[in-house]
Amino acid sequence: MTDKPSTTHHLPATPDTVHWGYFSRTLSPVLTIASGESVSIESITHHANDDYERMIAGDAAAEEIFRWTRDAKTMRRRGAGSTEGPFTHGNGEGLGVHLLTGPIAVEGAEPGDIIEVRVLDMWPRPSANPAYAGRFFGSNPSANWGFQYNDLITEPKQREVVTLYELDMTERSVSALYSYLWTPQTDPDGIVHPTIDYPGVRVDHSTVTKQDGVLAGIKVPARLHFGTMGLAPAEADFVSTIPPNYTGGNMDDWRIAKGATMYYPVAVEGGLFSCGDAHATQGDSELSGTAVEISLTGAFQFILHKKADLPGTVLEGLTHPLLETPDLWSVYGFSVPNYLSELGPDPQQAILSRGSLDDAMRDAFRKLRRFLMTVHGLSEDEAISLMSIAADFAVTQVVDANWGVTGSIRRSLFKGRQGAVR
């Protein structure tokens, strides 16, 4: 493991610093920073209760956040839905699932500005259970919202299978430990969950049968990253963490890793940055519905770019997330670019049936075309020709309702161009 970088602030994950399943313009910031300052931010995976003994037991903060008995529930709201019963799944009704730390406000940030987030480093949260001390565990449910769910060929069909993994930071690889078929789980409020339909339900391991030896002999390279990072949107008080949108959110792109820089358009005062949904590794598409969901701490630096200073920079005209690495720039296309303003009176329900790779590809093409024409001064015909021979388009995810395609262009292509953006 690398030495952890020094940071200006540290934000632990506690019941007072996390929110579950939503971004919100109504939340008061748990930390306010100046532009240029850095923060180490703890996150705890919302899938930790898939194996309580390995990922929660002995960890005082995790135990308190996940505390849910017949008489007490620390995090009552777990989604962007209703907090007034009767409930089908539980308070918040599962419209949003990710456990996020934040929000962080950047002093002086206003709508129209851009917040730059530099990913300095990230490292895993070790198990606090003495039986597993110092080891790192994550979970990969093949879930009902996954791309595979209605296209299975072996029985039982429409099944959900949870696979537990261990992260080896010496080899920087991930290996499977065991798996189990999800069986109906009864929460402390007496609600039965026949599928994975509400975040943080503790799996009673006496009700499942573990299969050891799965994926024997296979080691997957680690790709530590945060699946969900972004700012609060302006269109609603509570916005589900599931679909990504113009202020970022659940983009599930493994390229947003150490050394990467993200740019997000500010929609509300302060920006209100939150992050979570950390992954040990993930492939393009996140096909089964999840990656290897793990608890990470990330070190980030925040830089504010005021609206008046954007012309003539790579941020000119930016109204969506942009990734920058030493090698490339990437734009993010979605099935519906701003579903919160485009899908009528109930957009958070409407987006659930609008996933389309055709539309996401079209949006990625349009965004990369704008970037090449605005930032690099290409004509439309030049931009289209360059995209066809040099741009790479990849599927980031097909499981978050607002499906994603990223369009990337290499920075080295522009080194010989007069007035090239650096």
| pLDDT for residue 1 is more than 50 | no
- CATH number of the domain to which 396 belongs: 3.10.28.20
Would you state the pLDDT for residue 159?
98
Tell whether 299 is covered by a domain: no
Q: Are residues 249 and 388 in the same domain?
A: no
Tell whether 287 is covered by a domain: no
Band of residue 220 on the pLDDT scale cut at 50, 70, 90: very high
Residue 415 CA to residue 422 CA, distance in Å, equals 8
Q: At 139, is the secondary structure helix, strand, or coil?
A: strand
Tokens for 303? Answer: 């830089």
Domain coverage including residue 311: 307-414
Tell whether 296 is covered by a domain: no
Q: How many domains does the chain have?
A: 2
| pLDDT for residue 252 is more than 60 | yes
Looking at every residue in the chain, the average pLDDT score rounds to: 96
Would you state the pLDDT for residue 125?
98
Tell whether 288 is covered by a domain: no
Would you state the pLDDT for residue 95?
87
Q: Are residues 68 and 209 in the same domain?
A: yes
Would you state the pLDDT for residue 13?
98
| pLDDT for residue 245 is more than 90 | yes
- CATH number of the domain to which 214 belongs: 2.60.120.580
Residues recorded for the chain: 422
Q: Does the predicted model carry a pTM greater than 0.85? A: yes
Q: Are residues 333 and 217 in the same domain?
A: no
Q: Are residues 122 and 238 in the same domain?
A: yes
Cβ 333 vs Cβ 407: under 8 Å? yes
| pLDDT for residue 420 is more than 60 | no
Q: Are residues 63 and 133 in the same domain?
A: yes
Strand partners, 118: 261, 301
| pLDDT for residue 25 is more than 90 | yes
Task: Please say which residue of 263, 279, 295 terminates a domain.
Answer: 279
Helical (H) or strand (E) element with 385: helix 380-390
Would you state the pLDDT for residue 5?
82
Tell me the HSE value of 68 on the side-chain side, using a 13 A CA sphere: 23
User: pLDDT tens digit string along 80-100?
Assistant: 999 888 899 999 988 899 999
